[in-house]
Amino acid sequence: MSEAHSLDSSMERHEMVIIGAGVCGIYMLHRMLEAGVDAVVLEAGSDLGGTWYWNRYPGARFDSESYTYGYSIDPEILAEWNWSEHFAGQPETLRYLNYVAEKWNVRERMQFDCKVASCVFDEDTNAWAVRTEDGRAFSGSLLVTAIGMLSAATYPRIPGVEDFRGEAFHTYYWPQEPVDLDGKKVAVIGTGATGVQVIGEIADKVGELVVYQRRPNWCAPLNNGPIDKAEMDRIRLRYDDIFQQLEKTPGSFLHGPDRRVFDEVPEEERLAFWEDLYASPGFGVWLGNFRDVLVEKEPNEAYSQFIADKIRERVKDPEVAEKLIPKDHGFGSRRVPMETNYYEAYNRENVQLVDVNETPIECVTETGIRTSDQERDFDVIIYATGFDAITGAFDRIEFQGLDGATLRDKWFDGPVTYLGTQVSGFPNLITLAGPQSGSVSSNFPPGIEFVVDWATRLVTYMRDHGYKRVIADKEAEALWTQEIKESYKGSLLSTAKSWFTGYNSNVDGHDKMRYMIYLLGAPKYRERLNAVADDDFEGLHFD
């Protein structure tokens, strides 16, 4: 271990260092303080909230029902907090997280503007030395990552991005102060879940909007609506049922697959069912379908056609409509962006769609964007170009485990974990919402509540037995990773290139399949991890 990294007396010492003050870090800290663990949270942002602190772009809002996104475990919070919309906007969510943090009194254990640069395991003391970019140093016997799965924003690799003299923002780094887009000439690059929200929101406010699209996504209406007091009271009475339902579905959403298969339903009935799904709020249109629609080719093609026809109905110009219909993947094999007025935006005079496959972007200039056929000037460029997902946030920190090995090297060809929460060679590290965990493939809060509770069990187990060190067994890790790989076989999801499958054209080496997420469903994940814990944390070695 290098001298610069070893533990020294100037470090702020804690039993546990948690990195990240988002939805996950807030809950982990709460559970640790309840358990009497001396824990501290280090957060890169100037305040708490994680995803909901950073993503302030116009149109940012939940895609899962607000009342399924809140924490389920505190009756007082459930009794007091009122959601104002079925799918709350970012400001409301951030207010909620601040309210929860006050309730749980966790803020005073958080340090902000504290961007972690390196975490190095000291074998002599069994503790992690954690250093921040601005030179602060901490040590913790246990290190917990709650660093988000979509927190390492990526810009497109287009020449000239730094040359533009107007305003330019990645959606993740949207400024805290209001950005005036009224009447401006605006470009949006990217049409994932984020771009689609932005475009639907700003199309009728800006002067001109040009959307640069590489691959279209299958988008579906969010069908949001307000919640008045009477409805919120009714929701409150149903909380037990709601949380029970989240435990049953594969993605911990309200919506789970319909038990019927495509073939056994007569066409008329099938179409009526699909019409209902399309008109219903939230992810039902994706996750509430016949159980073979996201698995088998023929049903998937039929449903994709149904959605394609919806796009053709909503977009007036047939040429534009065809450009907006994906041809390279079936409905639901990538994350379905939920939209409000997205397709209608393209019926507006001031909105133009540029297919960059036909006219590739050559460069960003000082005044705009040049494609192969022309140059357009802009006041504002919005990069909705996504993230180095799940492992990106880990790669941006120097994690050094036993014998100086780094996590970045270990995961170079794709993540390798045990349970998605542990990594062999990296003792006393718990990766919450890490790659291959169930929390990254499900509605996030229910997913992380389970993982945090499981981690709390692990921490308590170690304390009760006087253990100072926990490390994943190499063989158990290999088996887990193999199981994850197997689960991709035959899944439609594995046929499409997206962040789910580890692709990102803006990151070196991310041009091949990486086995990032647990695909066997949240109930199975909980069952597996509970069985491991019941079996004295089988697959983990303690000293």
- Min dist CB 315 to ligand NAP, Å, is 18
Site for ligand NAP in 170-189 (CB under 6 A): 189
- Min dist CB 44 to ligand NAP, Å, is 18
How many other CB atoms are there within 10 angstroms of residue 394's CB atom?
Answer: 21
What does the block give as tokens for 239?
A: 């909380």
Closer by beta carbon to ligand NAP, 98 or else 340: 340
Binding mask 205-244 for ligand NAP (x = CB under 6 A): -------x-xx-----------------------------
65 touches ligand NAP (CB under 6 A)? no
- Min dist CB 170 to ligand NAP, Å, is 9
- Min dist CB 499 to ligand NAP, Å, is 5
542 within 8 A of 469, measured Cβ to Cβ: yes
Q: Residue 66 carries which DSSP code?
A: H
Task: Give the Å distances, CA to CA, from 460 to 38, 464, 480.
Answer: 13, 6, 24
194 touches ligand NAP (CB under 6 A)? yes
Taking CB atoms, the residue at the shortest distance from ligand NAP is 192
Q: Residue 88 carries which DSSP code?
A: -
- The residue from 356, 405, 513, 520 that contacts ligand NAP (CB under 6 A) is 356
- The residue from 50, 195, 415, 502 that contacts ligand NAP (CB under 6 A) is 195
Closer by beta carbon to ligand NAP, 256 or else 326: 326
Site for ligand NAP in 371-390 (CB under 6 A): 384-387
Closer by beta carbon to ligand NAP, 400 or else 442: 442
- What secondary structure, in 3-state letters, does 300-354 show? HHHHHHHHHHHHHHHCCCHHHHHHHCCCCCCCCCCCCCEECCHHHHCCCCCEEEE
Angle at 211 between CA 205 and CA 212, to 5 degrees: 160
287 touches ligand NAP (CB under 6 A)? no
- Min dist CB 478 to ligand NAP, Å, is 29
Closer by beta carbon to ligand NAP, 43 or else 65: 65
- Min dist CB 194 to ligand NAP, Å, is 3
63 touches ligand NAP (CB under 6 A)? yes
Q: What does the buried/exposed string (b/e) look like for 464-489 if buried means 16 or more CB atoms within 10 Å of the residue's CB?
A: eeebebbbbbeebbeebbeebeebbe
Site for ligand NAP in 387-416 (CB under 6 A): 387
Q: 266 in helix, strand or coil?
A: coil
Closer by beta carbon to ligand NAP, 115 or else 335: 335
- The residue from 27, 62, 346, 450 that contacts ligand NAP (CB under 6 A) is 62
Pairwise CA distance, residues 277 & 318, whole Å? 24
- The residue from 25, 156, 221, 435 that contacts ligand NAP (CB under 6 A) is 156
355 touches ligand NAP (CB under 6 A)? no
- The residue from 25, 190, 282, 425 that contacts ligand NAP (CB under 6 A) is 190
Closer by beta carbon to ligand NAP, 166 or else 360: 360
151 touches ligand NAP (CB under 6 A)? no
Q: Residue 105 carries which DSSP code?
A: T
- Cβ neighbours of residue 72 closer than 8 Å, sequence gap 6 or more: 78, 239, 243, 246, 445, 446, 449
Pairwise CA distance, residues 3 & 532, whole Å? 38
- Cβ neighbours of residue 373 closer than 8 Å, sequence gap 6 or more: 359
Pairwise CA distance, residues 367 & 360, whole Å? 18
- Min dist CB 218 to ligand NAP, Å, is 12
**Crossing angle, helix 23-34 and helix 444-465, to 10 degrees?**
30
Q: What does the buried/exposed string (b/e) look like for 60-83 if buried means 16 or more CB atoms within 10 Å of the residue's CB?
A: bbbbbbbbbbbbbebeebbeebeb
Pairwise CA distance, residues 89 & 201, whole Å? 12
Binding mask 503-532 for ligand NAP (x = CB under 6 A): --xx--------------------------
In this structure, are strands 398-400 and 116-122 parallel, antiparallel, or unpaired?
parallel
Binding mask 108-127 for ligand NAP (x = CB under 6 A): --------------------
Burial label for 421, CB within 10 Å (0-12, 13-18, 19+), is: buried
- Min dist CB 334 to ligand NAP, Å, is 7
Closer by beta carbon to ligand NAP, 346 or else 537: 346
**Site residues (vs ligand NAP, CB under 6 A):** 61-63, 150, 156-158, 189-195, 197, 212, 214-215, 335, 356, 384-387, 499, 505-506
